[in-house]
Structure 1
Amino acid sequence: MPLIMLCGLPGSGKSRRAEELRAALSADEEGGERRVFVVAEAEAAAGGSGGRTALRAEAERLLSRREVVIIDAGNELKSFRYELYCLSKHAGTPHCLVLCPGGAPCSDRPPLESPDSRNRWDWPLFTAPEDLSEPLPLSEIRAALFVRRPPPPNKSTRSQPLQTASFLHQLDRLTQDIVAALVAAQRNGVEPGQFIPLDVDGLGQESQGLLLSRPVSLPELSRLRRQFLSYAKMHPGEGEENLPQLGSMFLQYLSSNLQ
């Protein structure tokens, strides 16, 4: 069930590293081969349901089985890496992140938000050698996947302390305020291609606004807000320590879905 997320710019060798991992891990099982699935973003989107949406759905389907799942995709946005981390946590399985350096930015891809090992969804973090002829740190990756204990069970299966309800109320209010500010900015004449500054309590200094890529209606913003909140409600202990960071993730979630 372990999940491996690859991360990097186009041309950084992610697919080659995915194949290297698949070959190494499938031969590890004593008494036979371990099943290892590689989920590539382009292949997941072939069904027509969209890149990241299809990728997440395919990963979630495979994580219900007892195999290794490798996500061969850019995974540039930390908000999407967080979503994949939540999937692995919900499945009760370890995960790790492999950063592939090099490559080059692409106009049709979001900018790379560099992984930070201080974030639980970016840890354990391994950096692949930029020279593709050099091997990955396979022994350390194996230990992270098969020796390390998985994350604790989701708190949604336990009795929740009172502060959880308070936190969800704060997050609900924060996301409502963000949506209201975006709608008001459009009413005041902000057009696609312009940056919408946001002065919302609870966002924090690093979340200063959103680049409006196209006109967006209140119903669409409300739908995206409900989808984002569903992740937080499934994992009520995930964001209590850092409400501003979840506010930043909500903005990134909007940005990635409004392109």
Structure 2
Amino acid sequence: MACITLSGFPCSGKTTRSLEIRKYLEQRLGSPDYTGDNLKVEIVSDDNLNLERSVYDESRSEKPARSALFTAVKRLLGMDTIVIIDGPNYIKGFRYQIYCAAREVGVRTCTAHIVATPEMCRNRNASRDPGSKYLDETLENLLVRYEEPSSTVRWDTPLFVIPWDEEIPGDAIFQAVTSGVKKPPNQACGHPTTNIPQISVPPKDALQTLEQTTNTVANLIMSAQSSGTVLGGPLIVALPSSSTRIEIILPNRTLTLSELQRHKRHFVTIHKKAISTGMAGRAEMNWTEETVAQKFASHLEENLR
């Protein structure tokens, strides 16, 4: 039926708000005035998936945790369930992924931005039990990396901003998840229609784009390290031939050129094979510089140690 994505700083009060939203929705759904479908409300969170706060200490543990959350959400998405996603959801790409999964099964979506000041979040974290708190450096890293939801992008809309000192907009959220506009999957996420084959011939310049873009990303990482811009943590890479900006989470150490080149060759080999066999059509990758750069960034995050 619907998917409500909560987003906010760590310790901003998302769990409290998710419980308030669930309580409000269940009251409205159980009211004699409600004559719609019989719906249930489920919360998916780090806590009920037994994900410790320490998973956010490193990208290599955060990625599987995010994948577990996403899998749990997809399992619950359906016409008889309103799913509330109680997690940081601080990366806009992850929120977009959730949005597409929800549209794929034909359910409505909305986003709730839970607002609190960084200082409030620090104080709340400090007062938590050791097993439920973030390391100070992890908390600061997440605060810096947070990508705020925006009402100007389709995957964050409708967007409800809920400051720490205000009540939840219960009625507006209820209307959004029970009678809001539904968009078909192809309109929402750019999926091909049923008339278009899923596998298409790769563009002629696919191999050139693959080589040039991966070289560019590797060189930009080395340049950032040489200039002292970054040594571990998030790095924003701006591709010189476009306005595209890619975030890469690097390990907390100095990377060598030979190491980057090794991972580049591995990445290129995998996709070159796909090109040569004709199995790398636009359904798998659209072969723009931006897409190749994003794929390569994910490859580095998963494989660098």
Is the 8 Å Cα contact of residues 107 and 182 (structure 2) preserved in structure 1? Answer: yes
Tell me, in whole angstroms, the C-alpha distance in 2 between the residues paired with 1:27 and 1:170.
Answer: 57
Give the equivalent residue in structure 1 for 2:75: 61
Relative to the length of structure 2, the TM-score reads 0.62
Matches within 5 A, 1:1-259: 1-29=1-29, 30=34, 34-44=39-49, 46=51, 50-64=64-78, 66-104=80-118, 106-107=139-140, 109=142, 111-131=145-165, 134-154=166-186, 155-160=191-196, 177-183=212-218, 193=231, 197-202=237-242, 204=243, 207=245, 210=248, 212-213=250-251, 218=263, 222=267, 233=283
Q: State the shift of 1:222 in Å.
A: 3.2
Tell me, in whole angstroms, the C-alpha distance in 2 between the residues paired with 1:117 and 1:172.
Answer: 37
Q: What is the percent sequence identity of the aligned residues? A: 23
User: Which stretch of structure 1 is more off in the superposition, 77-86 or 181-190?
Assistant: 181-190
Is the 8 Å Cα contact of residues 8 and 75 (structure 1) preserved in structure 2? Answer: yes
Structure 2: which amino acid aligns with 1:212? L
Report the aligned-residue RMSD: 4.4
Larger Rg: 2
User: Which stretch of structure 1 is more off in the superposition, 41-50 or 98-107?
Assistant: 41-50
Is the 8 Å Cα contact of residues 78 and 249 (structure 1) preserved in structure 2? Answer: no
Q: State the shift of 1:15 in Å.
A: 0.3
Query: CA, structure 1 residues 208+157, in 2 after alignment: closer, same or farther (shift >3 Å)?
Result: closer
Unpaired runs of 5+ residues, structure 1, are none
Q: State the shift of 1:233 in Å.
A: 3.3
Query: CA, structure 1 residues 76+209, in 2 after alignment: closer, same or farther (shift >3 Å)?
Result: closer
Query: CA, structure 1 residues 33+252, in 2 after alignment: closer, same or farther (shift >3 Å)?
Result: farther
Task: State the Cα deviation string for residues 204-248 of structure 1 (Å, max 9, x = none).
Answer: 1x517746336565279839x98xxx9x838x9xx9xxx787678
User: Which stretch of structure 1 is more off in the superposition, 210-219 or 67-76?
Assistant: 210-219
Q: State the shift of 1:109 in Å.
A: 2.7
Q: State the shift of 1:250 in Å.
A: 5.5
Give the match's secondary structure for 2:80.
Answer: coil
Tell me, in whole angstroms, the C-alpha distance in 2 between the residues paired with 1:218 and 1:123.
Answer: 37
Is the 8 Å Cα contact of residues 6 and 71 (structure 1) preserved in structure 2? Answer: yes
Tell me, in whole angstroms, the C-alpha distance in 1 between the residues paired with 2:249 and 2:88.
Answer: 21
Is the 8 Å Cα contact of residues 190 and 196 (structure 1) preserved in structure 2? Answer: no
Q: State the shift of 1:99 in Å.
A: 0.3
Is the 8 Å Cα contact of residues 207 and 248 (structure 1) preserved in structure 2? Answer: no
Query: CA, structure 1 residues 185+201, in 2 after alignment: closer, same or farther (shift >3 Å)?
Result: closer
Structure 2: which amino acid aligns with 1:158? T
Give the match's secondary structure for 1:39.
Answer: strand
Structure 2: which amino acid aligns with 1:97? T
